[in-house]
Amino acid sequence: MGRKSKYEERQGSLFPSQETNKEEKKDITSHNSGHSVHTVNSSSISQGIQNNTDPIILYPSNWLYNASVIGFLRVIAYGKGESYVERNMLMDDGRVKVSVNDLFLKEYSIGKYRIPVSLKYFIDFIVSFIWRNKYNDEKKDIESKYKEVINKWYDNKVLMEEQKDFAIRYIFVGNKLFSSNCPYQNLISKKEWQEFEFAQLMFEIFVRDKDNNIKCVLCNEKLPIIKSSSKLEARLTTFQHPHMTLLGPSIGEFPNAFWDLEHSLRVCPLCAYLIIHHHIPFKKVKGSKYQIFINANSFKVMWYLNKFAENVLKNMKNENSIKKILGLSLIEFSQRIYATLGVWSMASIEVVIKEDNNIDYYSLPYDIVSILLNSEVSKLINEINEPVVLDKILAGDFDHLLDIAYHVIRKLYSKDNSENNRSNLILKELSKNANYQKLAYKLPELYAKINSIIRGGIR
């Protein structure tokens, strides 16, 4: 975790503008990387187990962990609103603050069982956004097949429609996620899911004692002491390739991946919980077989870039160039988010491309990223609104902008009307209703701005 020390240095000023809980008292002495713990005055908690580990702080790490956290944030935004995530969870320095009391220890009842409220949001989210059609197809079947199971949860009481519906959703999601050939195959057995063993574990992990000898490979925190009698706990904390095929291509990225010389990773239960959200922020690119996620070294940057990329993907017709998707997302970011990113942050932005079980990466050269993240440049690109201009910038062919400007001005003002092949070719690249006056005025300005950013070198 190379970024650990940077954050440790900065703990003295934890962005007072973002603090919402006035009662919070920070204990910043025990900080580490991964998710670490602050103490809090928890007198206001009305539900769940009292705990003294609130909030926990999550630190950006490798793409799998990052996608998991962004997926988790998407689910929380669904349950509590985007403004909850943007105001209470995303921190300006790139970390994420998770209120254990709000999201894990508040409970939702399914008969005599209970699940953390964040797991309820997760189930509703999956059914509403990921597998809505499948759910509608299978609902009746599940209802009849699992009638006895559901009756047992509710001690044979008559159920309200909402209770019955959620019980079916709960079973559906467990079956879908953990069956063979599903994203997290056999990670949790149907029986463990239906007996609420996983949900119960999520209540307990925050209050269990820690095992001093084992650290989580994803967050670098000590694992809680695992019940030796629980097969689920053993399986969850010794994450293996068969449980998630993506671990295969990704395993080399984890800092301690081969510590035991086996293809298994020691993962804490909170990371295991987060990992089952990792597929959520990946978005399909039209006309292709792959899905993408934009990775960076700040959760705040990832949150917005992926949100903008999703808009870009929705609005793109037949285009599936990853370069362009990333470029347009960066432009939107610099227009809508007031943030100046440092060199390391810009250099860390990459697109993770998932096709079946293969992972690939794409990133733009640093100078292109810094150009697109400049708000004056992105404003000009938007105002010019000519696809070829963005294409040339993405290709690093900045001189071509001057070429276009020259030929546009020549067309507008020159008395020489003789046909010129080069001129025709360049003007043909512009859209049919291109505004030559605007281009003649804005393109040299754009070129000059880009030139000054490049000449300024790495800032």
Q: What are the residues binding Zn ion (CB under 5 A)?
A: 216, 218-219, 268, 271
- Closest approach of Cβ 459 to Zn ion, in Å? 35
Distance (Å) of CA 57 to CA 219, 296, 302, 322, 436: 10, 17, 16, 32, 52
* CB of 268 or CB of 372, closer to Zn ion: 268
* CB of 98 or CB of 216, closer to Zn ion: 216
- Closest approach of Cβ 220 to Zn ion, in Å? 7
Distance (Å) of CA 278 to CA 96, 183, 257, 283: 16, 10, 19, 11
Angle at 89 between CA 84 and CA 94, to 5 degrees: 140
* CB of 32 or CB of 423, closer to Zn ion: 32
* CB of 114 or CB of 215, closer to Zn ion: 215
* CB of 207 or CB of 347, closer to Zn ion: 207
Residues 6+ apart with CB under 8 A from 237: 223, 226, 266, 267, 268, 269, 272
Distance CA 429, CA 412 (A): 17
Report which of 131, 136, 100 is spatially closest to residue 116, judged by C-alpha positions.
Answer: 100
Give the DSSP letter of residue 16: G
Token duo for residue 328: 């347009």
- Closest approach of Cβ 34 to Zn ion, in Å? 6
* CB of 217 or CB of 371, closer to Zn ion: 217
- Check: CB of residue 72 under 8 Å from CB of residue 277: yes
Does an H or E element contain 294, and which?
A: strand 291-295
- Closest approach of Cβ 272 to Zn ion, in Å? 8
- Closest approach of Cβ 270 to Zn ion, in Å? 6
* CB of 219 or CB of 352, closer to Zn ion: 219
- Check: CB of residue 110 under 8 Å from CB of residue 200: no
* CB of 103 or CB of 268, closer to Zn ion: 268
- Closest approach of Cβ 15 to Zn ion, in Å? 24
- Check: CB of residue 366 under 8 Å from CB of residue 458: yes
- Closest approach of Cβ 215 to Zn ion, in Å? 8
- Closest approach of Cβ 207 to Zn ion, in Å? 16
Token duo for residue 373: 């993240």
* CB of 274 or CB of 426, closer to Zn ion: 274
- Check: CB of residue 373 under 8 Å from CB of residue 333: yes
Token duo for residue 415: 């008395």
- Closest approach of Cβ 371 to Zn ion, in Å? 37
- Check: CB of residue 9 under 8 Å from CB of residue 85: no
* CB of 85 or CB of 268, closer to Zn ion: 268
- Closest approach of Cβ 285 to Zn ion, in Å? 30
Residues 6+ apart with CB under 8 A from 266: 214, 215, 216, 217, 223, 237, 238, 239, 256, 259, 260
Distance CA 436, CA 42 (A): 64
